[in-house]
Each structure stands twice: as C-alpha cells, then as structure tokens.
Structure 1
Amino acid sequence: MAYAFSAADIAFLRSSGGEDALAACADLPLTADSRIGDVAAARRICGPEHAAAVLETVMLRRKAETKLAASGAWLFTGEALQQASATAVAAHRAGRLAGRDVHDVTCSIGADLVELAAVANRCIGSDLDPVRLSMARHNCAEAVVAPVLTLADALRPTSRGTVVVADPARRDSAGRRTWRPGDFAPPLDELADAYPGRDLVVKCAPGIDPAVAPWAGEVELVSLDGQVREACLFGPGLATTARRATVLRSDGTQWTVTDREPDDTGVGEPGEWIVDPDGAVVRAGLVRHYGARHGLWQLDERIAYLTGDAPPPGVRAFRVLDDGPYSEKSLRATLRRFDVGRVEILVRGLDIDPNALRKRLKPSGRSEASVVLTRIGRSPRAFLCRAERIPA
C-alpha cells in the first residue's frame, strides 16, 4: 500500500529539519531484509511521526533517478511518479509549445510543468490535490521563471488565452489501470468540452485509439530508448500533420517521421537485413513511410517488419544468415547447424510465445543469434539472424 503523504509531511520535508533527515537517510539500504533496521534508524533520526514520510521519499527519489533528470531533491507520491513523464519526453513536448502562454491543468508534482516553464512565455500550473500542488511548488522552485501555481479543477477553466495541457489520471478508484477515456480523471471528452476553441494538448497512454478524440488534429507517438512512452493528442490549432512518430534517445539524439512523407514502400523478397521499426513508428501506423524514407520494403503488407540491403543508421538491425519455412523441428535443426546456444526470438503475425518456444528448443551451442518469426502471406517463416547496432 502506497504511503499517503499529508500536508504536515510536506511541510516537514521542505523544512531544514526535513532536508537534514532526508540526507541522513539517503544511504540506508531500503531492502526487504533491512526494513526493520531502516525504520529504526529513521525513527532515531527524525522521530516516529516523520520516519515513514522520509523513508518513502528516499525510496521514490531512487526510483526517479532513471526517469527524471532533477529528481535528487524532489518530492513525490508513488502514483504521481509512476505517471510522470520522463524528462526527455516532457522536454520534447514542451518544445512544441515554446514561446506560448501555457496552463498545465493537471500539473501534479510538476514533472511536465518544470519543462514547460523553461520554454514557455508564461506558465501556470493547477491541480485539485493540495499535497501534490505543494510538491510541485517545491519541485519547480529552481525553475528560471517559476510557474504560477493554484488549486483548481481541470474542468473549470481559470485562465484565458493559454494553451491547455493535461495529463489525465488513468487508474480507477481501486488503483487499477484503465484504458477507457471515460474513466480518465478528468474524462477525456469532458476535458475537451471544457475548453472549446482553445489549443489543447492531452498526454495519453500509447494504446489509445485516436478515434475517441475526434477533436484532435494530430496524434504523436513518442518513444524513449526503444520504449513507447506516450501518445500525445494535439488540437487542430497545434497540429502540423495527422500522425507523427518521434524517437528519442538518452544521448540527446532524436528523429521524427510523419504521414506527410511518401509511403510508397513495396512488398518483396527478403533482403540482406530485417528491420523491426521502433514501436512509436508501428503504433503511429507509419511503417510504410519509414520504409520509404530508408529504401526498405515489407516482407508482407500486413506485417510491420521491413527488409532491405542497407539498414537505417543508428538502429539495431538483423543481418539474415539463413531463412526458410518455420516449424519447431526445422528451427531446432537450424540452431544446431549454426551452433546456437543463446537465442533471442522476435515474433510478428504468429501466435507464438517466445519464452515458451525458447524453453522447448533447448539451444545448447556456443554462439548466439536472433530468430525472427513471421508470416509471408499465409506461410510461417523463420529467419536466423545476427543482431548488429548500425552506427549513426
């Protein structure tokens, strides 16, 4: 059960005594085996009334290290941290609103707000939860221009002339993830109805069907280091295309493909390489556009794998070593022939569990390889490959 922070907890954590306590507890192990000792140490340091809040904050800061660039001194709730945008993703989205007046109407702990404040002309943040709002005030204190923060309902407009940014909560009252836009908090349709004629940006889960938001002029799928992080809906006044895929890397590199680009990718026989496009490209329905950009073609018009004689720069691609019709028996023989003992299995278009198949294959050789399983037409096909990272 997640710890429920109180206003008193936040007041303490933001005080000099709270900062000292957090520093003193920062190196505690915080493992299941050390729990009793950790609690006893925290009680000695800051008293029993503050120990739980301090320990939870230390633990959440550790979890945030790989997600948020400036998390070392931030305050969080567990749920807010889970929903918060990774810094690179938040910064990318904020960049599209640079120079505008922006109002984040579900600002929570401020993970998006701090990036908006760095580029917006004027920035406002509001939330219904006073505890999270206090955390946002703390987390955004070091912004070059601190945003204006206010307690307000996202469905009751409190600003004029601003771009409205929202990140509705996507969990029900029992904490279970919900995929129905009507169950978002606030609900997606009510959010759109509350701001008629306004420029609206709504962050959603990657699996959302854009058809549930007919007001949106553009949907952008964003991935970070190979993991699809969000679908972002942009109102007509902010849209520059209907569908966009943006691929971000932690090293600062990024690229984008949109449906305005040519999609004249053909279907043909396997080339020297197989390319599994980034998940953002696949979810945005831009596989053909991506293939056309890089001179690739599809193995099957209904399958997202691409093939060609030269893979795109900066991707992990699969050099084909052998291929043929798929069956477990034939694949097992191929693995023995190539002396494969460690195998990665990728599947599209076939009802196969890679982990279960790997156990049944029982590879025992000395080399490693990747197996790409798919179908071409109605025929299942297996490709034995060597995965290679292509230089950017």
Structure 2
Amino acid sequence: MSYGFSLDDVAFLRSGAGSAALAECAALPLTAATHIADVAAVRRLAGAEYAAAVLETLVLRRKSVSKLDDSAGWLFTGDAMQQASASAVARHRASRLAGRDVHDVTCSIGADLVEIARRARWTLGSDVDEVRLAMARHNAAEAGVSPTLLRADALAPVSRETVVVADPARRDSAGRRAWKPADFLPPLDGLVGAYPGRPLSIKCAPGLDFAITPWAEEVELVSLDGQVREACLWRGFGASVSRRATVLRSDGTQWTVTDAEPDELPAREPGEWIVDPDGAVVRAGLVRHYGARHGLWQLDERIAYLTGDTPPPGVRAFRVLEHGPYSEKSLKTVLKRHEVGRLEILVRGLDIDPDALRRRLKPRGGAEASVVLTRIGRSPVAFLCRAERIPNAG
C-alpha cells in the first residue's frame, strides 16, 4: 500500500531540511535486502516524523525515471505517479493545445500540466486533492513553468472560455479497471455535462467502448514504444477525422494514421512478410487504413495481421520461412527440422495460450524463430518466421 502523504509532509520535503535529507539519502540502495539499514539511515537523517515520507519519495523518484523526463526533484504519491502520462505522450497531447488557454481540471501532481504550460498561451491547473496540488506547485517550479493553481472540484467549473483537459482516475474502488464512463472519477459523462460547448481533451483507458461516448468527435489511441498508453477523447477542435492512431517512439520519431485515409484492402494469399500492426492502430480500428497506406493486404478480413512483400519502414516484421495448416504435432516437427530452441509465439483469432503451448512444444536447438498462429477462414494456420527490424526510410 502506498504511503499517504500529508500537507505537512509536502512542506517538509520542500523545505531546506527536507531537500537536504533527500539529497543525503539519495544514494541508499533501497533494496529488499537493505531495507532495515535504509530505514535506519533515513530516520537518522530525516527524523522519525518524516522518515516514511522521505523513503517513499526516494522510491517513487527512482520509479519515475523511466516514465517522466527530468523528474529527479519531483514529488509524487504512488497512485499519481502510476496514473501520470509518460512525458512523450504528455508532450504529444500538449502539442495539440499549443497557443490555447487551457484548464487542466484534474491536474494531480502536474505531469501533464507541465507539458501543457510549456506550450499553451495560459494554463490553469486545479484538483480537489490538496496534497497533490501542493506537489504540482513544487513540480511546476522544478520544471521552470508557472501555471495558475487552485483547489477546485472538476465538476464545478471555475474557468471560462478555456480548453478543458481532464485525466479521470481509471480504476474503481475495488481496484478493477474501469471500462464504463460512470466508473471513472470524475465520471466522463459528468465532465462532459459540466462544460457544455467547451473544447474537451479527456484522457481515458484504451479499453473503453468508445461507442458509449457519442459526444467525442475524435478518438485518438496513442502508443509509446509498442505499448498502447492511452486513449484521448477530443471535442471542439474542428476534427476532420473520427479515429486516429498515433505511434510514438522514445527516439522522437512518430507517425499517425486516421480514418480519413483509404481503406480498400484485399484478402489474399500470404506474402513474404507478416506484419502485426501497432496496438494503437488495432485499437483504433485502422488496420485496413494502415495496410492500404503501405501496400499490404489481409490474410483474413476479420484478423488484424497484415501480409505483403515489402514491410513498412521502422517496424518489427516477420519474414515467412514456411507456413501450413496448424496442429501441435506438425508445428513440433517444423521446429525440430529447423532446430529452433528460442521461440516467440504470436496468436490472433485462435484460443491458444502462447506460454502453455511453448511448454508443450519443448523446443530444443540453437536457432531462434517466431511462430505466428492465426486462422484464414475457419482453418488454423501456422507461419514459421524470422523477426527482423526494418530500417526507417531515409
């Protein structure tokens, strides 16, 4: 369970004494094996009253490094850090708000707010949680931005004529993922009703059924380094598309596909390559549009795998070595013939657990391969492939 920070904790952590304690404790190992010694050191340097707050802050700062840029001096709660958008994703969303007046009505510890404030004309952040708001004030100062901050309920408007940005909590009180608008906190429908006629940018879970958010003029799915991170519902931005998939990479490259592009795509015999589209493309329902852009075709019109003779640039694609009807016995024979010992298994359209199947196959050998299992029509098919990273164009 995460430590529950108080306003007094935040005030200490922001003070000279707190900053000194955090700096002196920063080199502690903070491992399970050193826990008792770490706690003793923190209590000695920070005092018993604030030891838990210092220790939790050190742990969260280390966790934040892989997610948030330049966050070494930030303050977090465990839940807020977990929910915060990765910096690359937050920057992308903020880029669409550049030059606008923006009110982040659920600003939390300020991860999105900082990126918005760097691009917007004027930025207001508010939250009902006083502790998170105090942390946002500290984090904004650390980042060198100065948004206006105040305590307010997201469902009780305190601004006019701004774009409204929100990131409702996406888990219900039992810890389950929220898949319905009413399960978010604050509820999606409540947010929409509270800001009639205002431009909205609302982050939500990628697994939400977007058919039940008819007010959203555009649904954007965003992935980072192959992992779908969020969906964003846009209203009031003059959208020319209704669905968009944005694919981001940590190296700064990105691309987008939308439903305004052609989607005429045949289903034909397998080509030289199998392409598994990025999860954002699949979740956004844009597999056909993506395939048409790159001259690919489908193995089966109901399956998201694509095939072709030239894979798109910058993707990890699967060069087909051989393929045929799937059965465990026949697949085991193929793996033995190719002396495959290191095996990756990808599955779409079949009820197969890749890990359980790998254990049953017991591959042995020095070669490495990928197996793509799917169906064409009603028939299960196996493709033995070699995974390759395709260079970016140019």
TM-score range, shorter chain: over 0.9
| Superposed counterparts of 1:201-280, under 5 Å | 201-280=201-280
Q: Which residue of 2 aligns with 1:190?
A: 190
CA distance in 1: counterparts of 2:2 and 2:237, whole angstroms: 40
Preserved CA contact (<8 Å) 2:180 2:209: no
Q: Return the TM-score normalized by structure 1.
A: 0.99
CA distance in 2: counterparts of 1:58 and 1:145, whole angstroms: 23
Matched, 1:119 2:119: yes
| Superposed counterparts of 1:1-392, under 5 Å | 1-392=1-392
Classify the secondary structure of the residue corresponding to 1:262: coil
Structure 1: any 5+ residue segments left out of the alignment? none
CA distance in 2: counterparts of 1:45 and 1:264, whole angstroms: 66
Matched AA of 2:271: G
Preserved CA contact (<8 Å) 2:105 2:165: yes
Preserved CA contact (<8 Å) 1:103 1:165: yes
Could you report, residue by residue, the CA deviation over 1:74-128 in whole angstroms, capped at 9, with x for unpaired residues?
0000000000000000000000010000000000000000000000000000000
Preserved CA contact (<8 Å) 1:118 1:143: no
Could you report, residue by residue, the CA deviation over 1:162-199 in whole angstroms, capped at 9, with x for unpaired residues?
00000001222344432222021100101100000000
Preserved CA contact (<8 Å) 1:117 1:143: no
**C-alpha displacement of 1:239:** 2.4
CA distance in 1: counterparts of 2:109 and 2:21, whole angstroms: 21
CA distance in 1: counterparts of 2:174 and 2:41, whole angstroms: 33
Matched AA of 1:116: I
Matched AA of 1:123: T
Matched AA of 2:225: D
* The 10-residue stretch of structure 1 (210-219 or 253-262) with the greater mean CA deviation from structure 2: 210-219
CA distance in 2: counterparts of 1:271 and 1:16, whole angstroms: 64
CA distance in 1: counterparts of 2:387 and 2:52, whole angstroms: 47
Structure 2: any 5+ residue segments left out of the alignment? none
CA RMSD of superposed structures (Å): 0.9
CA distance in 1: counterparts of 2:180 and 2:14, whole angstroms: 37
Could you report, residue by residue, the CA deviation over 1:352-380 in whole angstroms, capped at 9, with x for unpaired residues?
00000000000001100000000000000
Fraction of identical pairs, as percent: 75
Preserved CA contact (<8 Å) 2:179 2:209: no
Preserved CA contact (<8 Å) 1:215 1:236: no
Matched AA of 2:123: C
Classify the secondary structure of the residue corresponding to 1:202: strand
Matched AA of 1:114: V
**C-alpha displacement of 1:35:** 1.2
CA distance in 1: counterparts of 2:145 and 2:81, whole angstroms: 23
Q: 1:185 to 1:238 in 2, by over 3 A?
A: farther
* Number of aligned residue pairs: 392
Classify the secondary structure of the residue corresponding to 1:307: strand
Q: 1:46 to 1:238 in 2, by over 3 A?
A: farther
**C-alpha displacement of 1:145:** 4.1
Matched AA of 1:115: E
